[in-house]
A and B are shown apart, each in its own frame.
Chain A
Amino acid sequence: MKTIAKVALPILSVMLMAATCSNEQIVTLSLGFPTVARFIATGEVNFHDDSQIVNVTEDLDIEGALDDADIDINDLEDDAIKIVQVLYRVIQPDVVANRIITNTLVEVVPVDAGNNDIGSPAVLITGYTMPAGSGNVPNPEEWIDITNVIGTDGINLMNDYLLETVQGLKGNGPGPVNDSFRYHVRGTSAPPTETNFEWEVKLVFQGTVQKSFDVPFS
């Protein structure tokens, strides 16, 4: 039995060591921060024109997300969070099966606490044809990626806001002057009958940060 123990114990030790040996790795993490605006089109003929105010600061909750991920805000570069994607989906399709909104233009503008516009609007989405009818939205609630129709001015506006937000959280600046944005939507509704559908647009922001981990077997 003593001989057996001499053989068995080293093998057992090696197996357990294999299960615990680790190396420090610096890994690039990628975090998603989405914000969604919902619109309801009711009774409009020919034109779809609507606006919504969204508290983007509250939606993104950057501090909370970083806290959940155990990431210190000071580990982020000031420009680490940027807009990367725009998505569209229909929640409630129009009963008019072939309903579309053509030449869709979505502009965004910062608003103050009194919901007054600050500065000029920037084009976020331009030239998109929105499918909106029950016949051309086969999978309601499924997001459609429309990042390819995003406008440069909208990108810059949102990225500037994110830069100021991170700087503010790090104590390197006053933070952005606004928490909310007005989304102003316009487009041509076809066919020319009453338009009734519900839809959402989602902006996805992404933050990258490097973090150190003890990774086994690396």
Chain B
Amino acid sequence: MRFGILGAAVAAVLAVSGSASGDALSDNLSTLVGDQATGYLGPLSKGLSASANAGIFRGGHVPTAGLTARLDLTGSYISFSDTDRTYTAPAFGGYPEAEVPTVIGDPDGATVSQGNGLEFAYPGGFNLQNLAFAAPQITVGSVLGTKAMIRYVTFTVGDDEELGEFTYWAFGAQHSISQYLPGLPVDIAVGGMFQQFDLGSKDLVKADLMAWNVTGSRLFGTGAVKLEPYAGLGMDSCKMEANYDSGDESVQVKLDRQNDFRGTLGANVKFPIVSLNVEGYVAAEMGVAGSLSFGI
């Protein structure tokens, strides 16, 4: 596995982006069409939306001016709910509607029979209970109470030419609102971040994410160690598509854009140069996130 510059520090982890299981995902999709494929992939979209949009806005304090620069290592972790493990596959060609595994569901798959003796086998899932995501982030500021954030990871998935590159990049900004409202007991900022994932040379799985957030925080402590609890309210959006071959035909499956409210509670512990962060969130899925930051 060849890592890019920041990927050497940490790879963004998609649960099914491993070499072998990525291939298997492509195989399983080759037998599904339309609503079957969107139902099968649905939990990936939810999981990605919940985990990748976490740990971005970790406080409402944005200096009005002056140089700030931080390198963050951010990780996020969710547990899938039981309802994510199956979906209702629609009836087709005489086969009845059926409750069958999603990509995170029962690895045994499911079989449905048709009146004239045919049997259609829905593929198994990968029995995923959780999804973790990690990415490096660089944050620089501040101009007019605004800081910018970027994330970037790229690496080659195994030796597989079909899967090829995994690329993740993101950019965003956070702007201080409290600078316009002097006397507020808390720091408030609004922020947004756009993220894009690409897996495979033929965009086997591609996702665009957008996060909007209002974050409020207050810094306590005057010594070398400071505590900054924060709360955030926001909106997440995730649009995912899959592109694969079924025989000699190219198939594109677009999942409906997923929009979810996000509520976050967290805290930063700030030392000189180093900060630690932990947060819990409710979004498309419930989860926790944490980060380790270095900078000024």
Contact = CB atoms under 8 A, between A and B. Distances in A.
Nearest to A71: B27
Interface in B235-293: 246-249, 271, 273-274, 276, 290, 292
A145 B92 contact: yes
B271 A4 contact: yes
Nearest to B126: A215
Contacts of A70: 20, 23
A155 B246 CA distance: 21
Contacts of A208: 109, 121, 123
B119 interface: yes
A68 to B, nearest CB: 8
A217 B10 CA distance: 17
A31 interface: yes
Chain A contact residues, majority secondary structure: strand
Interface of B: 10-11, 13, 15-16, 18, 20-21, 23-24, 27-28, 30-32, 73, 75, 77, 92-95, 107-109, 114-132, 134, 162, 246-249, 271, 273-274, 276, 290, 292
Most buried by B among A27, A31, A84: A27
Nearest to A87: B93
Given A8-B274, A33-B247, A147-B93, A213 B24 contact: yes
A36 B246 CA distance: 12
Nearest to A59: B247
A34 interface: yes
B253 to A, nearest CB: 14
A113 interface: no
Contacts of A34: 246-249
Among all A-B residue pairs, the 6 with the closest Cβ atoms: A147-B93, A34-B247, A148-B94, A30-B123, A28-B109, A28-B124
B10 A16 contact: yes
A34 B276 CA distance: 54
Contact of A213 (B21, B115, B290): B21
Given A12-B73, A26-B107, A84 B20 contact: no
15 contacts: A4-B274, A16-B10, A18-B75, A19-B11, A19-B132, A27-B107, A28-B108, A33-B247, A34-B248, A35-B247, A69-B24, A85-B118, A145-B92, A208-B109, A211-B24
A148 B16 CA distance: 35
Contacts, number: 152
A206 B92 contact: no
A99 interface: no
Interface of A: 1, 4, 7-8, 11-12, 15-16, 18-19, 22, 25-36, 68-70, 82-86, 145-148, 150-152, 155, 206, 208, 211, 213-218
B276 A11 contact: yes
Given A7-B276, A19-B13, A85-B93, A215 B128 contact: yes
A117 B290 CA distance: 69
A28 B77 contact: no
B27 A25 contact: no
Given A19-B13, A25-B127, A30-B27, A155 B20 contact: no
A209 to B, nearest CB: 9
B117 A27 contact: no
A206 B121 contact: yes
Contacts of B249: 34
A35 B94 CA distance: 20
A155 to B, nearest CB: 6
Nearest to B92: A145
B20 to A, nearest CB: 5
Nearest to A69: B27
A81 to B, nearest CB: 11
A29 B30 CA distance: 10
Contacts of A7: 276
Contacts of A211: 24
B279 to A, nearest CB: 14
Given A11-B276, A27-B24, A218-B127, A84 B134 contact: no
